[in-house]
Amino acid sequence: MQQPSPVPDSAAPLVDVVDLSVRFVSKDATVHAVNGVSFQLTAGEVLCILGESGSGKSVTMRALLRLLPETARISGQVRVDGRDVIAMAGNELARLRGGVASMIFQEPMTALDPVFTVGQQIAETIVRHEGTSWAEAEKRGLELLELVQIPSAKRRLASYPHELSGGLRQRAMIAMALSCRPRLLLADEPTTALDATVQIQILLLLRRLQEDLGMGVIFVTHDLGVAGEIADRVAVMYAGRFIETGPVVDLMEGPLHPYTQGLLGSTVHGGMRGQRLTAIPGSPPSLSELPTGCAFAPRCPQAMDVCQTSEPTERKPRPDRTARCVLVEESIQAA
Amino acid sequence: MSDTPRTRVQGTQGRSVLLDVRGLRKHFPIRGGILNRVIGTVQAVDNVSFAVREGETLGIVGESGCGKSTTARLLMHLIEPDDGTITFDGRVVDKRDRAALRDMRRVLQMVFQDSYSSLNPRLPIEETIAFAPWVHGIPKREARDRAHRLLGAVGLEPATFARRYPHELSGGQRQRVNIARALALEPRVVVLDEPVSALDKSVEAQVLNLLVDLKDAFRLTYVFISHDLNVVQYVSDRVLVMYLGKVVEVGPVDQIYANPRHPYTRALLASRPSMNPRQRTTEAPLTGDPPNPINPPSGCRFRTRCAFAEGVCSTAEPRLAASDAVGGGLDAHMVACHMLAPDSGHSKTVLASNTA
Ligand SMILES: Nc1ncnc2c1ncn2[C@@H]1O[C@H](COP(=O)(O)OP(=O)(O)OP(=O)(O)O)[C@@H](O)[C@H]1O
Ligand SMILES: Nc1ncnc2c1ncn2[C@@H]1O[C@H](COP(=O)(O)OP(=O)(O)O)[C@@H](O)[C@H]1O
Ligand code: SF4
Ligand code: SF4
Ligand SMILES: [Mg+2]
Ligand SMILES: [Mg+2]
């Protein structure tokens, strides 16, 4: 049985985000999609962003590569591999995307071009980013398909994306994302649309690739079980904020924030038959009219007066854990 | 967990069969090419039989495309089977028997996954719920009162929600409306096709609690379809596992989850994320994707992914048969695999006699 790897603490961060906010401004409304997110990712670490639909997971991740539409207003600081992403010009951004950092999606066809074969697309990426010869790039393409365990890889290089089954297409997209040996892989629910027996194959593949290639990975999911299989560290997102972070084992065994506790109680798993689920009442707030105070207060069984008036600051009960809830005590600094 | 088995499970054992399905078949022709000729057949549902007792929940699980929704649509007579019979409360439902069909359309109701597209966007939800009772001859006023009572029963305060339109509701609230609408004709059976799959976890739990409550309050029988094995385990009394249009295993929920016998069921259960980060999954139970449902493999349809496949698996189709000494009857644990049929010619049939 395998356990999450310990997080190296001395290395310089691969990703450094300070007070990131993203708003979408239009005539009718302002959507506060991300509201002050700060975190660091070390090289070789897997961070899962866990949250329900609309909580801001995808927008947070896209902001790291500035893959957001014109209407997005980004503030805060984002550094990837030491470089300031917010200040980057267009050509620098293009080099970043698919170079140092690349991204995979739930729907592989967002990343694959239907009119070119898998082999052509991979080779093209390699030639563009690294200026190798076409022959050299094609050779790497074959190695990549073998790396992601596509059977009869040679033959598959000549396949068009639509000729592949769901699982193979997902593998082809991963191969493409790895083509320039990224140090950072951003994965946005890459297994959500897959059947159970295929999902576990892709999760195990990603975990192995991450270890072998030493990549840092940010993995977005709404599924606690998926996070349990792949994360070193988990950040729980609610209404555009990281409301709790911590190592995966600690967080799943001892959640601190009432929302995380509710999420664990709501997640059906074996052995819950006959028990009433401890559902969280209500539904997440609209991001165009965020409540003042704690965004979870309208649904929180433990809410108090103070929760309605001011947004709880981030507490650090232990060096490796954070929570935004007034019930969580700040640790007393040991002498 | 050492929770005592729910009384519900035992309570249904003596009850009569409400829905009896025999040899159901639905094949869809696939057309293609410039002449639009039939180039293949999707055997969406192929010789499927099962029974549902009054008051129980039958769970149906399987991966995408295995025929779950097609089975549901056949049960509802939204599509006609190529072959097979559906008996409801002792009466064979035949499309030529208009009266039987009309009765059945009332007492059998369905809830779909997509909460949005199954509601009329231009009607306030109280009217959506009251519509069917009104069509069935209930005075408008009374139908609206019933709609309000049902809104209350599904946890939507009528004073706040009755006049709202679907787009003014969250996904979880819309699914509650769909459930209220399904209950408006006082059905006996509700077929739920992935009723919580589109919902967030925190809302999924609310709707599951609600479905359990309503079942008791209105003495309902459920056919609960889902690809989520954990949810099916939570709600079901008995479980039916499908693969490429076939039933591969069926039995009481505890049997299926504690002692799965079909290699596919075992793999499916083992594919669930572990929920314990200290004990992660180290090996994927199956390789590859489910095969194309057009022209599926001969013999056992699972043989292309089965670690135990042998010659006999490609030449003969395994029959669904009782897997243990408990024998037949509704609570039998039935499996369709040559390894569990003593005289099949499969070299590993010992598996069966060992544990029986
Ligand atoms: N009208 C149709 N014409 C052609 N093929 C169809 C039709 N309806 C269903 N099918 C095919 O029949 C098979 C079974 O479909 P069905 O919708 O029952 O699957 P399912 O088990 O509900 O899957 P999911 O989990 O994706 O909802 C699939 O291969 C599907 O593509
Ligand atoms: N291009 C956009 N324009 C306006 N609002 C957007 C846009 N993209 C995302 N949003 C909104 O931002 C919020 C967070 O979205 P997202 O990050 O996609 O959520 P998720 O956690 O499901 O990935 C949602 O309210 C969403 O509707
Ligand atoms: S701050 Fe208050 S409302 Fe928010 S989670 Fe904590 S107790 Fe609940
Ligand atoms: S019949 Fe053969 S191929 Fe099918 S499940 Fe049994 S052993 Fe595997
Ligand atoms: Mg998203
Ligand atoms: Mg379906």
Domains of chain B in sequence order: 12-242 (3.40.50.300), 262-353 (no CATH)
Chain B residues touching A281 at Cβ < 8 A: 206
3-class secondary structure, A327: coil
A204 vs B5, B281, B288: nearest CB: B281
Interface contact B5, partner A, CB < 8 A: yes
pLDDT digits (tens, 9 = 90+) for A130-161: 999 999 999 999 999 999 999 999 999 999 99
Q: Are B319 and B341 in contact (CB under 8 A)?
A: yes
Q: How far is Cα B33 from Cα A179, in angstroms, rounded to an integer? A: 36
Handedness of CA B312, B316, B317, B320 (dihedral sign): negative
For residue A39, give the H/E element and its range.
strand A30-42
Of chain B, the end-to-end C-alpha distance in Å amounts to 26
Per-residue pLDDT, A289: 86
Say which range, A28-32, A47-51, A272-276, B321-325, has the weakest mean pLDDT: B321-325
Examine the pLDDT at B181 and tell me if it is beyond 90: yes
The proportion of chain A whose per-residue pLDDT surpasses 70, expressed as a percent, equals: 96
Query: Mean pLDDT throughout B96-114?
Result: 87
Chain B contacts in chain A segment 255-274 (CB below 8 A)? 262-263, 265-274
B63 and A196: CB-CB below 8 Å? Answer: yes
For residue B146, give the H/E element and its range.
helix B140-153
CB atoms within 10 A of CB A110: 11
| Cα separations in angstroms, B278 against A250, A253, A272 | 10, 10, 20
Q: What is the band of A8 on the pLDDT scale with cuts at 50, 70, 90?
A: very low
For residue B53, give the H/E element and its range.
strand B37-53
Ligand 1 pocket, CB under 6 A: B 28, 42, 44, 62, 64-70, 227, 293
Q: What is the band of B200 on the pLDDT scale with cuts at 50, 70, 90?
A: confident
Say which range, A190-204, A267-281, A310-324, B162-176, has the weakest mean pLDDT: A267-281
Query: Mean pLDDT throughout B242-247?
Result: 97
Nearest-CA neighbor of B21 among B60, B57, B48? B48
Interface contact B231, partner A, CB < 8 A: yes
Query: Mean pLDDT throughout B196-212?
Result: 90
Chain A residues touching B268 at Cβ < 8 A: 196-197
Q: What is the band of B12 on the pLDDT scale with cuts at 50, 70, 90?
A: low
pLDDT digits (tens, 9 = 90+) for B41-85: 899 999 999 999 999 999 999 998 899 999 999 999 999 999 999
Q: What would the two tokens of residue A167 be? A: 């699982």
Which residue from A20, A24, A34 has its CB within 8 A of the most atoms of ligand 2, so it is best to mutate? A24
Chain A residues touching B206 at Cβ < 8 A: 279-281
Per-residue pLDDT, B308: 97
The overall average pLDDT reported for chain A is: 92
pLDDT digits (tens, 9 = 90+) for A39-91: 999 999 999 999 998 899 999 999 999 999 989 999 999 999 999 999 999 89
Per-residue pLDDT, B4: 38
Interface contact A89, partner B, CB < 8 A: no
* Spacing, Cα B275 to ligand 2 middle (Å): 28
Report the nearest atom of ligand 1 relative to the CA of B68. Answer: 21
- Laid out side by side, the sheet with A83-84 consists of A30-42, A13-25, A72-80, A83-84
Chain A contacts in chain B segment 168-197 (CB below 8 A)? 170-173
Examine the pLDDT at A233 and tell me if it is beyond 70: yes
Burial B103-124 (b: 16+ CB within 10 A, else e): ebbebbbbbbbebeebbeeeeb
Q: What is the band of B326 on the pLDDT scale with cuts at 50, 70, 90?
A: low
Q: What would the two tokens of residue A261 be? A: 């506790």
Q: Are A22 and A74 in contact (CB under 8 A)?
A: yes
A88 lines ligand 3 (CB under 6 A): no
- What phi and psi, each to the nearest 5 degrees, are found at residue B249? -160, 145
Report the nearest atom of ligand 4 relative to the CA of B307. Answer: 8
Q: How far is Cα B70 from Cα B57, in angstroms, rounded to an integer? A: 19
CB atoms within 10 A of CB B92: 12
Length of chain A: 335
Q: What is the band of B104 on the pLDDT scale with cuts at 50, 70, 90?
A: confident
- In eight-state DSSP terms, residue A97 is B
Task: Please report where in the chains the tokens 């095969």 appear, as a residue.
Answer: B291
Q: How far is Cα B295 from Cα B305, in angstroms, rounded to an integer? A: 16
Q: Are B133 and B184 in contact (CB under 8 A)?
A: yes
Examine the pLDDT at A196 and tell me if it is beyond 80: yes
Q: How far is Cα B256 from Cα B268, in angstroms, rounded to an integer? A: 11
Query: Mean pLDDT throughout A215-236?
Result: 97
Burial class (CB in 10 A: 0-12, 13-18, 19+), A178: buried
Chain A residues touching B230 at Cβ < 8 A: 268-270, 272
Between B98 and B6, name the one with better pLDDT.
B98
Nearest CA-CA distance, residue B267 and chain A, Å: 7
Q: Are A143 and A81 in contact (CB under 8 A)?
A: no
3-class secondary structure, A117: coil
Strand partners, B28: B42
B203 vs A4, A231, A283: nearest CB: A283
Query: How many contacts (CB atoms, under 8 Å) link A and B?
Result: 154
Burial A231-260 (b: 16+ CB within 10 A, else e): bbbbbbbbbbbbbbbbbbbbbbeebbbbbb
Q: Are A157 and A180 in contact (CB under 8 A)?
A: no
3-class secondary structure, A16: strand
- The contacts of residue A323 (CB under 8 Å, 6+ apart) are A243, A244, A245, A256, A257, A314, A315, A317
